[in-house]
Amino acid sequence: MLYATKQMILRDIESLPPNCKTKDIDALIRRYVREQYDVSGLRGEILTEQRLHRIYFYTSLKQLKSVYDRAAFIDNNLLFSDWWHTDQLIHFVSALDYETARRYTEKYLQSDDLFVRRWGYVLWISKLCRDEAHVDELLSLMKNDNAYYVQMAQAWLIAELAVFFPEQVWQWMDSENALYYNINGKAIQKICDSFRVSAANKERFKALRPKLKERNPA
């Protein structure tokens, strides 16, 4: 395994075409994975440079074979600087079992870091949220949060659940949840924007808007 210093990585980046794109960085990552680069030395730098952030996470995660090792790596490196970096990691944990993912989420939702809280929701937006037995439990994770990017993550997860379990989500939204209207309204908008939700179900969700706004207008 080749230990890669920041200077080595920066030289590789500088060799890329001017105004390099994400695909160019990903080509470097594929080489680093193939050659088994150890990029742990970048850890202290990744919040200052988006390209180093992507290289650090992807090169490391792609070399880990177990989903549990990948989830543990992310857990030990909750170094997020924006929503984009968080959302890019979803597929690395999509094979987790429900109980393990739930334990991570419960921890993340207690964080003071809004992007860690966001990660606590978006990590479910994969096949992880497609087990009917867990729909009510996932909806119970929703709680009021003032951070815009966390609200968007909650709305995204609610809308994803509505794709597969529209009746359960509708029943919960109608009778149980007391979320800010900012969150419910965003969720309904995402549901209505989805090509995977029927027109009839979109109308049912839209009809809840007045009731939800009256319940908690924040």
Given a cut of 90, is residue 72 above it in pLDDT?
yes
Q: pLDDT of 4-51, one tens digit each?
A: 888 999 999 999 988 889 999 999 999 999 999 999 999 999 998 899
Q: For residue 38, list its beta bridge partners.
A: 3
CATH of 96-215, one of 3.40.1160.10, 1.20.1250.20, 1.10.3720.10, 1.25.10.90: 1.25.10.90
Note the pLDDT of residue 19: 85
pLDDT confidence band for 199 (50 / 70 / 90): very high
What is the amino acid identity at position 209?
A: R
Tokens standing for residue 215: 């319940």
Q: pLDDT of 132-178, one tens digit each?
A: 999 999 999 999 999 999 999 999 999 999 999 999 999 999 997 88
pTM: 0.94
Q: How far apart are CA 102 and CA 127, in angstroms?
A: 14
Q: Which residues, including other chains, have CB under 8 Å from residue 141's CB and lie 6 or more apart?
A: 105, 106, 109, 120, 121
Residues 109, 139 contacting (CB under 8 angstroms): no
User: Is 146 strand, coil or helix?
Assistant: coil
How many residues does this entry show for the chain? 218
Q: Which residues, including other chains, have CB under 8 Å from residue 198's CB and lie 6 or more apart?
A: 166
